[in-house]
A and B are shown apart, each in its own frame.
Chain A
Amino acid sequence: MTIMLERGARQGGSGTLPRLLAGGRRLGEHRATYGQIPLRRFGGEEGRRTLIRAITDAGLRGRGGAGFPTGRKMTSVAAGAKRPVVIANGCESEPASRKDKMLMACSPHLVLDGAVLAAHAVGADRVYLCVERGTSIADRLERELAQRDDPVKIKLVRVPRRYVSSEESALVHLINDGDGRPMAAPPRPFEKGVAGRPTLVDNVETLAHVALIAAYGPDWFREVGTRSDPGSTLVTIGGAVARPNVYEISPGMRIGEVLDAAGGAVEPIGAVLVGGYFGTWVPMPDGWGLPLTHDRTGPLGTSLGAGGIVALPAESCGLAETARVVRYLAEESAQQCGPCMFGLPAIATDLAAVAYGRCDPATRQRLMRRISQVTGRGACRHPDGATRLATSALTTFAADLETHMDGWTCTGVSRDPMLPLPDRRHRDRSWK
């Protein structure tokens, strides 16, 4: 305990990062760095409430994309009539992000400690740890799980490699019925999820923060970040930067500073995609000073989301990049809701027409109408994310759009794409 507190004080005193990736892969190394799980300190009914209060006071927000306050979610789950269940979401189906995979590879036991603490806080007796199937992470986690002796049952669930299968209701659906497609709401998982029990679905990074808050307290947690978005956060920085990788940053950092953390731009940057493929394009250099947090900021409502950041060179064509990604998102639709099933492919086709110079004012108008018609009409947020990306592209690359419409040749179209997409061989067709 002393070691832990000293470490907490030292880390807190300087407010230094990294917090999450500082431990070890092995259980022994992890315990040497972070100590034992402080379960005893939060024993009993009063202890559970103290733990949830600590998470609430810390102001921790979900790191899976939505940024919902974790303490509030825990409070509603704990208040349910039945015994709750915890889902640790480590699927990370977002191609522009690999921070969860990095975290689970570097600090698996921090995530597991957090999951055990979260289960304790809400009174759950089991944890489902959800990971994409076909990755080495799942096998490695299984080995690490065998080393541990936890007071709750932890079950590893291998999830189909589909973009929407990591959505919370899709995980509940998969665990209940073996079908990894999103479900209609209500009820939301926090009311009625796995086996009809209230279910806390938290991203694995969120859970790792839960473990740190339990060990070092809310004041320590708040020493970095902003008032409304405290604590450190993991981001995946890609594109035209010197050292593309996963970084732990403090929310509130400006886009320019974040790119500098990854070694800076290697060529002139035209725009930066923030928040992965449900995110927004921010024009450069105008957006250089935009602070990145989980709150929506700037004219386009930019948010860190799950932390995927891609720097696009000025020489690349943002419209062609977006058209390609929206086509991918259309293919990844669960094909359950009409507006998503028919709307996203139609939007992808219109965007491709815009990007590849077969666009007339009528096509552009149709594209705008389709975007506004599809938004908000799916059972899950998949269509909303795709249309947000498309809208921000049409705004940020408005000048390019005019050039394309006038029939000028865009040299960016023939450049190699910057935004990563998974190999077709690594994408599942099945939902089972």
Chain B
Amino acid sequence: MTNPNATIEGLRLQVDMIKCVGHASCFELLPERVKLDEWGYPIIETDPLPPHLVAHARRAVAACPTLALRVDGKVARQR
């Protein structure tokens, strides 16, 4: 079940780990919010995006070869 306390506010970067195969284009385009683990998969900061990064984030989303990355207002899961 989702956390009912998860508020819908601000845009967040999300990754579908099943679709992601580690092309790491998000890391190249948005190093401010994306780090890579030792196997080359993205570790993504899911805090709301600051306004100046939103356009960059959208570009990273568009560049993801497997369409695993997205920007939306919904939180998949509270960590």
Report A's interface with B, CB cutoff 8 A.
66, 68, 72-73, 76, 183-186, 188, 190, 336-340, 342-343, 370, 373-374, 376-379
Tell me the complex Cα distance, A184–B43, Å.
Answer: 16
In the complex, chain B residues whose CB is within 8 Å of the CB of A339: 17, 37, 39, 41
Indicate the member of A72, A183, A185, A340 with the most B CB atoms within 10 Å.
A185
**Which residue of chain A has its CB nearest to the CB of B72?**
A186
Q: In the complex, given contacts A336-B18, A337-B20, A379-B16, what are 18 additional A-B residue pairs having Cβ atoms less than 8 angstroms apart?
A: A68-B1, A184-B76, A185-B76, A186-B2, A337-B17, A337-B18, A338-B17, A338-B20, A339-B17, A339-B37, A339-B41, A340-B17, A342-B41, A343-B37, A373-B37, A373-B38, A377-B17, A377-B43
Digitize B7-49: 1 where CB-to-A-CB distance is under 8 Å, 0 elsewhere: 0000000001111111000000000000001111101000000
Given A68, A185, A186, A338, which contacts B39 in the complex, CB threshold below 8 Å? A338
Tell me the complex Cα distance, A336–B77, Å.
Answer: 18
A394 nearest CB across to chain B (Å): 19
Docked-complex contact A73 and B1, CB < 8 angstroms: yes
Docked-complex contact A186 and B18, CB < 8 angstroms: no
22 chain-A/chain-B pairs, Cβ below 8 angstroms: A76-B1, A183-B18, A184-B16, A184-B18, A184-B19, A184-B76, A185-B2, A186-B76, A188-B1, A190-B1, A336-B17, A338-B20, A338-B21, A339-B39, A339-B41, A342-B41, A343-B39, A374-B37, A376-B77, A377-B37, A379-B16, A379-B17
B15 nearest CB across to chain A (Å): 9
Tell me the complex Cα distance, A376–B18, Å.
Answer: 13
In the complex, chain B residues whose CB is within 8 Å of the CB of A73: 1
In the complex with contacts A186-B74, A342-B39, A378-B2 CB distance below 8 A: no
**Which residue of chain B has its CB nearest to the CB of A377?**
B17
B79 located at the interface, meaning its Cβ lies under 8 Å from any Cβ of chain A in the complex: yes
Indicate the member of B2, B18, B20 with the most A CB atoms within 10 Å.
B18
B76 nearest CB across to chain A (Å): 6
Digitize B51-79: 1 where CB-to-A-CB distance is under 8 Å, 0 elsewhere: 00000000000000000000000101101
Report B's interface with A, CB cutoff 8 A.
1-2, 16-22, 37-41, 43, 74, 76-77, 79
In the complex, chain A residues whose CB is within 8 Å of the CB of B76: 184-186
**Which residue of chain A has its CB nearest to the CB of B39?**
A342
Tell me the complex Cα distance, A383–B38, Å.
Answer: 16
A-B complex: 4 closest residue pairs judged by Cβ atoms = A338-B41, A337-B17, A342-B39, A336-B18
In the complex with contacts A73-B1, A185-B77, A338-B40 CB distance below 8 A: yes
B66 nearest CB across to chain A (Å): 11
Indicate the member of B39, B40, B79 with the most A CB atoms within 10 Å.
B39
Indicate the member of A183, A190, A339 with the most B CB atoms within 10 Å.
A339
Docked-complex contact B17 and A184, CB < 8 angstroms: yes
**Which residue of chain B has its CB nearest to the CB of A383?**
B17
Tell me the complex Cα distance, A183–B19, Å.
Answer: 10
Docked-complex contact B79 and A376, CB < 8 angstroms: yes
Given B2, B38, B41, B43, which contacts A188 in the complex, CB threshold below 8 Å? B2
In the complex, chain B residues whose CB is within 8 Å of the CB of A340: 17
In the complex, chain A residues whose CB is within 8 Å of the CB of B22: 338
In the complex, chain B residues whose CB is within 8 Å of the CB of A190: 1
Tell me the complex Cα distance, A118–B22, Å.
Answer: 42
In the complex, chain A residues whose CB is within 8 Å of the CB of B39: 338-339, 342-343
Tell me the complex Cα distance, A184–B74, Å.
Answer: 14
Tell me the complex Cα distance, A76–B1, Å.
Answer: 10
In the complex, chain B residues whose CB is within 8 Å of the CB of A336: 17-18
**Which residue of chain A has its CB nearest to the CB of B44?**
A377
**Which residue of chain A has its CB nearest to the CB of B79?**
A376
Tell me the complex Cα distance, A373–B17, Å.
Answer: 14
In the complex, chain A residues whose CB is within 8 Å of the CB of B20: 337-338
**Which residue of chain A has its CB nearest to the CB of B78?**
A376
Tell me the complex Cα distance, A66–B77, Å.
Answer: 14
**Which residue of chain B has its CB nearest to the CB of A369?**
B38
